[in-house]
Each structure stands twice: as C-alpha cells, then as structure tokens.
Amino acid sequence: RRVVLLGPPGCGKGTQSPALKRDFCLCHLATGDMLRAAVGAGTPNGLRAKAAMESGALVTDDIVIGIIEEATKKPECRNGFILDGFPRNVTQAQALDQMLASKGVAIDKVLNFEVPDSLLVERVTGRLVHPASGRSYHEKFAPPKVSMTDDVTGEPLIRRKDDNADTLKARLSTFHSQTAPVIDYYKKQGALVNIKADNPFDKVKTAIFGALNK
C-alpha cells in the first residue's frame, strides 16, 4: 500500500501514523521529521531548510522531492509507505506521480484529515514531543504519565520551535494557499477519502482503518 496523509498542521497525521505503520507494515515517511533531523544535524539540506521552517513557509521542492525519492528506495519501504506531510503543493504531487509511474506503481489512497482551523491552535500550542522517537503528546488531550517526560524512555519532552500561535498562523495560510489545491488534484484521480479528524483519537483511528480496509 502507498498512502498519503493530507491535512493542516495539528490535524493528527503524526499521531495516527504509528498504528498504521504497525498494522499495515508500512514505512512512515514524514518530511517534517526528516527535515527537523537534518536541521538538528546541521546537514546542507538542514541549513537550507531552517529559515523556511521557522517562518511557517514551505521548504523548496527540490529538497523535499529529493528526500522522498531517496527514502522510498529503501528496501524496508518495498511493502509500501505512509507519506506524512508530502506532497504539500501540486508540483510535489506531480513529481511523486512521475516517480511512482516510473516504477509501475501509484498512490492507492489519500486520507484527507479535516479539522477546522479554530481547533488547531489549541492542538498545536499544547503539543509536546519526544524528538528521538517522534512520539507526541498533548498537555490536555494526551498528557504523559509524568509531566514533560516520555512514557517509554523517561527522557524529556520538548515543544517544537514552530508550535507558537504566530508561526501557526503562517503555516495555516501556507496550507490554504499551497496545499489545499492538492486535495482537488487527488479528488480528480479518485484517490481521496475525507476523514473527519476533529473527533476523539480512537474515532479518527477507526475511520482511517475503515478507509484503508475497503
């Protein structure tokens, strides 16, 4: 299976991915996570991506398309993958289609997570993450057992640099102007399934599994 998770910042893409990854044996390719790792490690891509990420703009297409091209070639991704945060504009969607067509495959399903902007502020500003594993928590909706501590490793949780109200505003505006056209792109291909993602965690998970098991 090759699945795309589409939706605004804070809609639940990263939260729902571990269960999907496990149950469908897919690899989870999150461009945001990979870019944050590159920024942290100070690689050339990381140095080029940093300013755009901190301002809530998109990183240039050549960087993210290159990252996805490399990642999808990995042997462990042969069984299929979940793309979380890619494609984010129509140019990236076209590049992905070409990349897959050259291997004789295509995207099977695009899950479009729908959450009104008004709910995303609280989700994003309350998010806590464990950077090494990518696990995320929420102060109010999914608190860790011990305050500011990862349940599994006991290591400290952090807040993402772009998870403040101002940067979120810019990220939402980028989403509506550049990523929303990708919804129509996949609707025309017949791959789009809308997921009502302003529900509790388990209800969203059930909707996603229902869409993928069809």
Q: At which residue do the structure tokens 């998970």 appear?
A: 205
Strand partners of residue 113: 195
- Contacts of residue 121, Cβ cutoff 8 Å, sequence gap at least 6: 165, 168
To the query of whether residue 188 is one of the catalytic residues in this protein, the response is no
Q: Name the active-site residue from 50, 109, 123, 127.
A: 127
Q: Name the active-site residue from 13, 50, 123, 135.
A: 13
To the query of whether residue 13 is one of the catalytic residues in this protein, the response is yes
Binding of residue 46 to ligand AP5 (CB under 6 A): no
- Which of positions 171-200 make contact with Zn ion (CB under 5 A)? none
Distance CA 120, CA 2 (A): 27
2 and 211 in contact (C-beta within 8 Å)? Answer: no
Binding of residue 14 to Zn ion (CB under 5 A): yes
| Least separation in angstroms between CB 85 and ligand AP5 | 3
- Contacts of residue 4, Cβ cutoff 8 Å, sequence gap at least 6: 82, 83, 86, 87, 107, 109, 110, 111, 186, 191
Number of residues that bind ligand AP5 (CB under 6 A): 34
- Which of positions 158-187 make contact with ligand AP5 (CB under 6 A)? 171
Distance CA 68, CA 48 (A): 17
- Which of positions 80-109 make contact with ligand AP5 (CB under 6 A)? 85-86, 88, 92
Residues forming the site for ligand AP5 (CB under 6 A): 7, 9-15, 31-32, 35, 52-53, 56, 58-59, 64, 85-86, 88, 92, 123-124, 126-127, 136-138, 141-142, 171, 200-201, 204
Q: Which residues are identified as catalytic?
A: 13, 88, 127, 160, 171
